[in-house]
Amino acid sequence: MRIFLLCSLILLSGTTIVQAQTGTVKGIVKDSLTGAVLESATISIFKKDSSLINYQLSDGYGGFSLSKIPLGADIILNVSYVGFKPFFKTIKLDSAIYTADIVLSPSFDDSLNVTVTAQMPIRMNGDTLEINPAAFKMDPNAVVEDLLTQVPGVTVWSDGTITMNGRKIPSVLVDGKPFMGSGDARMATQNLSKDAVEKIQVYQEVDRTLKPEERKQQDSLLTMNIKLKEDKKKGYFGKMAVGYGTTQRFEGDLSFQMYNKRTSFGIGGGYNNINKNIDNLNEMFQNNTYRNYNPNLRNVGNFNTEGINRYHSIGGVFTHNFIETTNSRQNDRITANYTKSGNDRYLTNRSLQNRTTLDNPQFVEDNTVTNMVNDNHNFGVNYIKTNSYDDNFTINGNAGINNSNSDTRRVTDIRDTTNNLVSTNNVLSAEQRRSGNQSLSANYSKYNYDNPTAQFNVNLNVNNNNSESDRYVKSVFNSFVDDSRDTTYNRNYNNTASNLNIGANLGYNGLRRLLFGRFNFFGIDLSLDQRINYAKSNREDRVSDYDSIQNVYVRNTRLTNNNINEKTEYSPTLRLGKSFYKWSDKYYRNVYMYVNFTEDFKQDNNSSSFAVRNLNRSFSFFRYDGYLSYNYNKREKFSYYLGLNYNKNFDYASVDQLYTITDDLDRFNVRIGNPDLKNRVNHSYNFSARFNSQKPKAKYAFNGGLNAGYMHTLNPVTDSLINDPSGERTYYYVNAKESQSYNLSYNLNIVRTLKKSNIQLMYNGSYNNSRNPNYIDNIFSETSTAGFNNNINLQLALRSIVIFNLGKTFNTYQTDQSGAGLRSFKNSSDITRLGLTVNLPKDYTISSTVDHTKNTNIDKPIILWNAFASCRILKNQQGELKFSAMDILKQFQNISNTADKYGTTTRITNGLQQYFMLTFAYYPRKFGKAEIKKREIKQVW
Amino acid sequence: MRTFTFLAIALQFICIAAWCQPTKIYLSPKAAGSANQSMFIDSVRFYPLEKSNGADISRYSGLYITDQYFIVVNYQDGNLIVYDRNGRLVKQVAYKKKGADSYPRYDKAKQQLNFIFTNKLYSLTEKDRIEIQTDFANKKNKKYYKKYIIDLNDSTFTMKKATVTAFDILDAYNLKDDLYCTYRVHVSDRYKDTTDYEVKIYKNDQFVKGYFPYNKNHESKYLYAPYIGAHTQESGKPDTFYITRPYLDTIYSLSNDIITPAYQIVLPMENSLPKSFFETPFKNKTERENFERNNGWMLRQIYTVFESGRYMFITIGFLSNYGQYIYDKKTTSSYNLSKTKADSITYNLPIISDDPGNRFNNKYYRVINAETLKKAYELKDKSIPFPKELEACFKDSKNPTPVIVEYTIKTY
């Protein structure tokens, strides 16, 4: 931690040194005709080669002051204002302050309605902030994200998030629509050429996910719309890459997307054995963007993935807009996608477990080797139609097929405190599994102020999935404490399962009008939600044991069973909500509250081949929840939000908990049911707070949030655990009186802008603690499990030339037992991450990452050092050669810690080891009719 | 002789036709320029307002001017502060709790402030309003509105409850003497197929004459259009009023019951409504809203026209935007009010920026709140001393007292 702080201080002081030998240009802009000062005139300073050094809008009194201008160099001072002739002059700063009062002449005869367009970098057009890309002199290959890093007030965070004056921009659109049908802003900002963009607009938009009565000013979404030039509304871009390295490592990536005004299509895929997961099409597109500013150093071989995986995937996504509009109120769009993916995994796992047992701690060493092959097909379709913010119709359909085969060999040794072996368990298993799922959901909502009784929202969901599996298991358990505990099984499990779920939710928002007519019930909104759900699961487990005498599998009647479970639920909910608000020219604030009253009617029927499980039950629960929020927004200063939520609900025990079918094949996890389990009652309380600065001209911008939750459960289902001296474990379901858990999570992000450079500090952390009563070896114990996680990342970006990342993650887990004689455990990990990218002029990039991991369960820290060198080649920088050196120190081990109420576990798995790889990538890119060309830039005045 | 008579009649027709042609004002919202406000302001006088407890005057406060009083209305807080014409505090009146959706309407003839509140206990839809207003004689419909009056001749300024009449519901305002005028234009298929007038003149509550007939049931250009109305306002000339209408660029003159087009604000093509807007009716409210959203800088209506010799204040509403302009008749150039700057000649006070204020007897009045005064004080030009009335506002420079600025516009 000290090293981390030291590095931070060095970096911060370094940025100060960089700013030496500069001066300030200041003055006032006036109208030559009237002498009036001109507000929002654009003052820009360029180098002789026309590259932009700095710019500013004049203030309300025409004044401007541009600091950090290089001394002694010839620079061009340009002032522009709509309707006036632009002013430009070559100047040289000889002293720290250069004063220039600029007089602009009108460039039009008003009666002739002539308008002169000047290159203003940013301007306000009504309530919309407009950014003009043409005013920013940048590399011809720059993408939108590169441009945004140069816009005052806009911060592109290291994770791709965009904020404006401290406020997050959750919605980034291209011509009013999600680009390529994706909600991921990076798809647009990291691919679209800056030269293809006419302007970028930032404005507030209604959050259509909220009901009208919930839509307050502070809930509106800050939206960024990238408006493409008319001749650039058609284009394509992508990446094709192949790489081969030592130890037979290889990778191949494909991403290709094309679009026009209404339609877009993208294909993506990949094949690698470097643990780079590529089964998500959107992630693939995102990982293969043409980014410059913040190279994705983590989209490489993933050393933290367990095992060696050979991944493959291929897929496509098609989007079509049936209407051609550039506003986001109106949508009529279909998106379809298909992905075929899979992997071939080889995993070795060594787990070391400390077990909590009475006066007799046990240490478990588990060695597992798994070979697994799986193959997936996924298809999805989405349709959305909206005409305004008050109506919404969407359909989502998804279908998938999964096939997998796996072979596992597992050897478990259990030792006592004197390191004597108390038992061993050797397990061989082979499984074939095939599953399929289909889902369909449809939503329709309609709000109408003129006809309040016709306001409703309908949601329908249908899910169906089925699976078949065939598993052969040979298990030999030997006890060195008690021979009578020895068991040998050769068992076959043939399972089929199908689940159908049909749910509907009908929300009626016209209840107040319907009940009271024009009487507004003191401003309290009333709505009635009705949820209906039907679920049917059909499971058939056929279990057979091998008869070595007859050489046949014989049906195991104790375990073979059929079970059909049908759940029918009906839950009407009455909601009462009310809001108060107050505003002035300086602030806006509001309070919103609601309470929900719900009656749950539940019918749970079970039909089983075991008579005891033929259980039909009916439940009726009355539950309620409430919410209170407060928002305060001080214009151009800050805003914050406070929210409080309370919820009470009920759970009942499933038939599998009441009448568990006990399979004792796994000697370490034998489950026994309990027919006397009571219903659980949960009381949960949640508090959340958010804060962000919103000073347009501030050098610092920051935002933060805090979430806290507390849950109190009455009659929780917990375990009574019996540890056998041989290491066998038997769990009995029991009720406890109560359990509690609480959690706290928080984050803080700060950015300091230094002209074209910035420093970002992102911090997030969480603390959670649960107190669960249980019995361990008949001793009552309250287990307190605590986890404390902290993650901090500092990024320094110096004019996009040097990007330095320093991150630290610190996690601790602790389990305390209140029961006498039971052991408590604690472990922790401490990871320090360094990343450095240097974009050397021209087109060369070198970068490196170092991960330093300390863990209480390993003797020496592990260092993972990767380094990369790449150069952009070919015409228009469309090719890239990259050399990767991974795990240079050859000492990486994949180690992870987990903790639960019965002990802590350290897992050591196989994974990637040192390799070197050479990768060639080609980026096909074309926006509009003309190929993106590396052309000479001529300054347009 | 016949030839002479014919020529004389023809000449007369030509003269009438020429006389009826409106004066064209070419105005480009995008290109309207900027200027120092002293370019337009002739004289300035200040009325410092005595401090009042608990009532803030904000940027959004309204102002009513009578012969005896300045009445500042805080719409946010729902109260009004009455000052005498020297700025001395007379009375504070809170009206927020009396009802909803109302602001005072000044009746010059009766020297009253009228409040027509909707009853807070009810939420009314457009359909409700139509049903209530078309059947207001029904006693059941009286409960939806409440009326209060402040008699400005009564120094107690008590809000007195009054009976709401069908005439009150029309939201007519006092035009001159005992003449009242309606402005609302509303079309809905819930109305019967009847003709109404965009502007209706009443003598007290008796209908006198209507202008610009339209069909209340299906006039296509007004169908699904919310909050539109024809604005009739004093022109500054004796017995002459200006009328502006929705979606039209013409300013009409009403004088002696005769309507003539006085001015036409000629806008660039990008601000002009297309022919299809008038010819093809919108199918529903959403279609209209989307058209307005997608064409935000097309003309909705010219709202206010103040004429003062050389200059005209013109307020224009666009489909999703708003602009205020000064037109210089002499140079035929136009200025955007939001770009006008407070300068040292006018003590750096934003007098006409964004809003020229209210006109009363050919003078204009504008309230300047404490926050704005503080900024002006910071920019004070020592070579141009404040007049003593303005200086009086800054006895406590950190918390100055608001001031009403009375000013006149140059006529030369």
pLDDT band at A858 (very low <50, low <70, confident <90, very high): confident
Q: What's residue A50's pLDDT?
A: 60
Domain hosting B231: range is 22-409
Mean pLDDT, rounded, of chain B:
87
Asked, for residue B6, whether it belongs to a domain, the answer is no
User: Is some CB atom of chain A closer than 8 A to the CB atom of B296?
Assistant: yes
How many Å apart are CA A742 and CA B323, to the nearest integer? 54
**Sheet of B311-318, strand order:** B299-308, B311-318, B322-328, B333-336
Q: What's residue A284's pLDDT?
A: 85
Q: Are strands A221-228 and A235-245 parallel, antiparallel or unpaired?
A: unpaired
Q: What's residue A117's pLDDT?
A: 39
pTM reported for the whole predicted model:
0.81
Mutate to test the interface with B, among A33, A111, A323, A327 (most CBs of B within 10 A): A111
Would the pLDDT of B240 be above 50? yes
**Pick from A344, A342, A368, A364: which is nearest to A354 by CA?**
A364
More confidently predicted of A699 and A18: A699
Residues of A in contact with B121 (CB under 8 A): 519-520, 522
Mean pLDDT, rounded, of chain A:
85
Task: List the structure tokens of A146.
Answer: 């590169």
Residues of A in contact with B58 (CB under 8 A): 584-585
A27 touches A41 (CB < 8 A): no
A294 touches A279 (CB < 8 A): no
SS3 B360: strand
Sort B269 into a burial class: Cβ within 10 Å, 0-12 / 13-18 / 19+.
exposed
Question: What total of structural domains would you count in chain B?
Answer: 1
Question: Looking at residues B235-240, what average pLDDT do you find?
Answer: 86
How many Å lie between the alpha carbon of B362 and the closest alpha carbon of chain A?
A: 25
| Residue among A61, A110, A388 whose CB faces B31 most closely | A110
Q: Whose structure tokens read 């050399």?
A: A883
Tens of pLDDT, residue by residue over A180-213, are 888 888 888 888 988 899 889 888 877 777 766 6
Tens of pLDDT, residue by residue over A453-493, are 999 999 999 999 999 999 999 999 999 988 888 999 999 99
Asked, for residue B132, whether it belongs to a domain, the answer is yes
pLDDT band at A917 (very low <50, low <70, confident <90, very high): very high
How many Å apart are CA A175 and CA A225, to the nearest integer? 6
Give Cα separations from B126 to A190, A422, A511, A520, B320 (angstroms).
48, 83, 18, 15, 22
Q: Do B125 and A37 touch (CB under 8 A)?
A: no
Question: Looking at residues B235-254, what average pLDDT do you find?
Answer: 92
Which residue stretches of B197-320 are H helix? 275-279, 285-294
Domains, in order of start, for chain A:
1-111 (2.60.40.1120), 121-232 (2.170.130)
pLDDT band at A434 (very low <50, low <70, confident <90, very high): very high
Asked, for residue B1, whether it belongs to a domain, the answer is no
Would the pLDDT of A862 be above 90? no
Residues of A in contact with B290 (CB under 8 A): 325, 327, 329-330, 387-388
Range among A239-248, A873-882, B367-376 rated most confident:
A239-248
Residues of B in contact with A115 (CB under 8 A): 28, 30-31
In 10 A of CB A539, how many CB atoms? 17
Asked, for residue B10, whether it belongs to a domain, the answer is no
Q: What's residue A118's pLDDT?
A: 41
Task: List the structure tokens of A251.
Answer: 């990778």
Asked, for residue B113, whether it belongs to a domain, the answer is yes
Q: Are strands A308-321 and A263-272 parallel, antiparallel or unpaired?
A: antiparallel
How many Å apart are CA A909 and CA B58, to the nearest integer? 68
Return the CATH number at B87: 2.120.10
Q: What's residue A737's pLDDT?
A: 93
User: Is some CB atom of chain A closer than 8 A to the CB atom of B138?
Assistant: no
Task: List the structure tokens of A781.
Answer: 């114990």
Q: Are strands B403-409 and B41-48 parallel, antiparallel or unpaired?
A: antiparallel
Tell me which H or E stretch contains B3.
Answer: helix B2-20
User: Is some CB atom of chain A closer than 8 A to the CB atom of B74?
Assistant: no
Q: What's residue A126's pLDDT?
A: 62
How many Å lie between the alpha carbon of A928 and the closest alpha carbon of chain B?
A: 24
Tell me which H or E stretch contains A248.
Answer: none
pLDDT band at A725 (very low <50, low <70, confident <90, very high): confident
Asked, for residue B7, whether it belongs to a domain, the answer is no
**Pick from A342, A322, A349: which is nearest to A334 by CA?**
A322
Q: Residue-wise over A378-393: b if at least 16 C-beta within 10 A, else e?
A: bbbbbbbbbbbbbbbb
More confidently predicted of A12 and A551: A551
Strand partners, A75: A47, A91
SS3 A655: helix
Instruction: Please determine, for the modelled complex, whether the ipTM score is greater than 0.90.
Output: no
Please compute, for residue B47, the number of CA atoms within 13 A of its CA located in the half-sphere on the CB side: 20
Compute φ and ψ for B395, nearest 5 degrees.
-55, -40
Q: What's residue A36's pLDDT?
A: 64
In 10 A of CB A218, how many CB atoms? 18
Would the pLDDT of A115 be above 50? no
Provide the percentage of residues in chain A whose pLDDT is more than 70: 89
Task: Tell which B residues from 1 to 40 touch A, by Cβ distance under 8 Å.
Answer: 26, 28, 30-36, 39
Would the pLDDT of B32 be above 90? no
Task: Tell which B residues from 240 to 279 touch A, by Cβ distance under 8 Å.
Answer: 268
How many Å apart are CA A316 and CA A313, to the nearest integer? 10
| Residue among B123, B294, B333 whose CB faces A520 most closely | B123
A723 touches A358 (CB < 8 A): yes
Would the pLDDT of B62 be above 80? yes
Tens of pLDDT, residue by residue over A651-692, are 999 999 999 999 988 888 999 999 999 999 999 999 999 998
Taking CA–CA distances from A116, the nearest residue in chain B reads B31
Q: What's residue A423's pLDDT?
A: 93
Would the pLDDT of A2 be above 70? no
Question: Looking at residues A15-41, what average pLDDT do you find?
Answer: 66
Asked, for residue B2, whether it belongs to a domain, the answer is no
Asked, for residue B8, whether it belongs to a domain, the answer is no
**Pick from A189, A178, A376, A190: which is nearest to A278 by CA?**
A376
Residues of B in contact with A110 (CB under 8 A): 26, 28, 31-33, 332-334
pLDDT band at A496 (very low <50, low <70, confident <90, very high): very high
Would the pLDDT of A932 be above 70? no
How many Å lie between the alpha carbon of A222 and the closest alpha carbon of chain B?
A: 18
